[in-house]
Amino acid sequence: MKNLKFFLAFIIFLFLGKNNCISQSDTLSTTQIPNAPNLFILCSYCDLDYIRREISLMNYVRHPDEADLKILITTKGTASGGDEYNIIFEGNDSLKNRKDTLNYISKMNDSEDLVRKGLVKKIKLGLIPYIANSQLSDYINIDFKKKEGEETKPEDNWDYWIFSLGAYGYFSGEKSSNSTSLWGSLSARRITEELKFELSYDYSYYEDNFSYDDLSVQSISRSNSIDLEFVKSIDDHLSVGFFGVANRSSYYNTDLSTKILAGVEYNFFPYSQSSNREFSFKYLIGYQYYKYYEETIYDKEQENLGTHKASITYLIKDTWGSISTTLSYSNYLNDFSKKNLNIYSDFSIYLFSGLSLNLRGSFSMVHDQIYLPKGGADPEEVLLRRKAISTNYRYYTSIGLTYSFGSIYNNVVNTRF
């Protein structure tokens, strides 16, 4: 009994001691900084805990409506396999309605820690003019460290060429079923401000086996493709391109499909702003050849066709949210009844304090399934989606609302458990 009492007392002592340590730490971290600007950061892929730790002179809030300063961070891939981060600073009335943008570029092999340190450094630089207009300016010291030696352009032995390869496998099973999925890819690309060249090869294999009583079912689907893309920049709004595609797909009944297209794209906004806003028109025209595994519903074993496609894209990202919509239309030139119309939209909007709306969806009017096999598909192939079947439309949608309320401040960084 004495041992039990001693053990319980020891546990209570540890528990109280632990809670006391936690509460002290949290008390220090939750104390707001008097007269500091309220900051809201919108970035779905940033380490926000790290940012709050490294930049502790701001009061972080959970909603943009409560902020004196808002930061939006967007990203797009670079030619070398890294990422270009666009950091947009936007102040409200108390910060003179100013808006600034800084860029940070990471390399392909940069570690996660190196990237977040680089982002924090850029954010600190961007905060300087806003802090200069606040009561915190008396507490800020600015130091300049000059780099040794002259700055020179780094030598690139690869001349902007990037090569990638990958192989993946997924295997699962139980007593009555098993599945195998294999993917492989190769790619080479060279991207500069003036020219963009990409060549890639992809392969996939899917196999499912089922057994139930005396019934055994095996389903196999294969596909491979080669894609070529060559784009020439004319100016900051106009580009022209040449594209080639060759593929095989048991799902789409194509033993061989080749497509050659040429086109033009005009962006009403400069391409330098494409990660934050875009309003572009694209038109492509070309030739397509099909060779089918099975005779099609139009009694074709192979055919040559002309095709064209037009699309309009509108994109804007800001601290209030983002909107992206693309409307596209295509048809075969020998028969305008064989057409496809698609609209895709993605909305993420802060409605008001604490409430945001997220909506994503796509709808297609499908009248171009010239590849459908005349013999149709077995029930197993339909259920396992191993062969395409006739349809007049396709769609998908998702919608969600999030609402939160309580303290506007979010300075706490607590990663326990």
202-214 mean pLDDT? 90
Model confidence pLDDT, tens digit, residues 65-100:
778 888 888 888 777 778 888 888 888 766 666 788
> Given this model, what pLDDT does residue 327 score?
97
In the predicted structure, residue 15 carries a pLDDT above the cut 50: no
> Given this model, what pLDDT does residue 21 score?
36
20-39 mean pLDDT? 50
Residue type, 100: D
At 149, is the pLDDT very low, low, confident or very high (cuts 50, 70, 90)? low
> Given this model, what pLDDT does residue 16 score?
41
At 50, is the pLDDT very low, low, confident or very high (cuts 50, 70, 90)? confident
Give the alpha-carbon dihedral of 16, 18, 20, 26, to 10 degrees: -150
Residue type, 201: Y
395-416 mean pLDDT? 72
d(CA 167, CA 123): 37
**Termini Cα distance of the chain:** 33
Q: Which two tokens stand for residue 274?
A: 């494409």
For the ranges 116-125, 213-222, 249-258, 351-360, the lowest mean pLDDT is seen at 351-360
> Given this model, what pLDDT does residue 95 score?
65
User: Is residue 268 within 8 Å of residue 282, measured between CB atoms?
Assistant: no
d(CA 203, CA 180): 14
Residue type, 19: N
In the predicted structure, residue 170 carries a pLDDT above the cut 90: yes
In the predicted structure, residue 307 carries a pLDDT above the cut 90: yes
In the predicted structure, residue 61 carries a pLDDT above the cut 70: yes
Q: Which two tokens stand for residue 408?
A: 């506007």
Model confidence pLDDT, tens digit, residues 87-140:
888 887 666 667 888 888 888 777 777 888 888 888 888 888 877 767 777 767
d(CA 126, CA 122): 6
- Over its C-alpha atoms, the chain yields an Rg (Å, rounded) of 28
In the predicted structure, residue 383 carries a pLDDT above the cut 80: no
> Given this model, what pLDDT does residue 29 score?
39
**What is this structure's pTM?**
0.65
Q: Which two tokens stand for residue 156?
A: 């690139």
Contacting residues for 224 by C-beta, under 8 A, at least 6 apart? 201, 202, 203, 204, 247, 248
> Given this model, what pLDDT does residue 77 score?
79
199-207 mean pLDDT? 94
338-360 mean pLDDT? 86
> Given this model, what pLDDT does residue 19 score?
40
Give the alpha-carbon dihedral of 300, 301, 303, 307, to 10 degrees: 70
183-190 mean pLDDT? 92
> Given this model, what pLDDT does residue 151 score?
52
d(CA 384, CA 221): 10
Mean predicted lDDT score pLDDT of the chain: 81
Contacting residues for 274 by C-beta, under 8 A, at least 6 apart? 76, 267, 315
In the predicted structure, residue 296 carries a pLDDT above the cut 50: yes
In the predicted structure, residue 297 carries a pLDDT above the cut 60: yes
350-365 mean pLDDT? 85
Q: Are strands 69-77 and 38-42 parallel, antiparallel or unpaired?
A: parallel
Please give, one letter per residue, the 3-state secondary structure of the chain: CHHHHHHHHHHHHHHHHHHHHHHHHHHHHHCCCCCCCEEEEECCCCCHHHHHHHCCCCEEECCHHHCCEEEEEEEEECCCCCEEEEEEEEECHHHCCCEEEEEEEECCCCCHHHHHHHHHHHHHHHHHHHHCCCHHHHHCCCCCCCCCCCCCCCCCCCCCEEEEEEEEEEEEECCCEEEEEEEEEEEEEEECCCEEEEEEEEEEEEEEEEEECCEEEEEEEEEEEEEEEEEEECCCCEEEEEEEEEEEECCCCEEEEEEEEEEEEEECCCHHHCCCEEEEEEEEEEEEEEEECCCECCCCCEEEEEEEEEEEEEEEEECCEEEEEEEEEEEECCEEEEEEEEEEEEEEEEEECCEEEEEEEEEEEECCCCCCECCCCCHHHHHCCCCCCCCCEEEEEEEEEEECCCCCECCCCCCCC
At 17, is the pLDDT very low, low, confident or very high (cuts 50, 70, 90)? very low
Domains and CATH numbers, the chain: 23-139 (3.40.50)
Model confidence pLDDT, tens digit, residues 239-288:
999 999 999 998 899 999 999 999 999 999 888 777 778 899 999 999 99
In the predicted structure, residue 3 carries a pLDDT above the cut 60: no
In the predicted structure, residue 376 carries a pLDDT above the cut 90: no
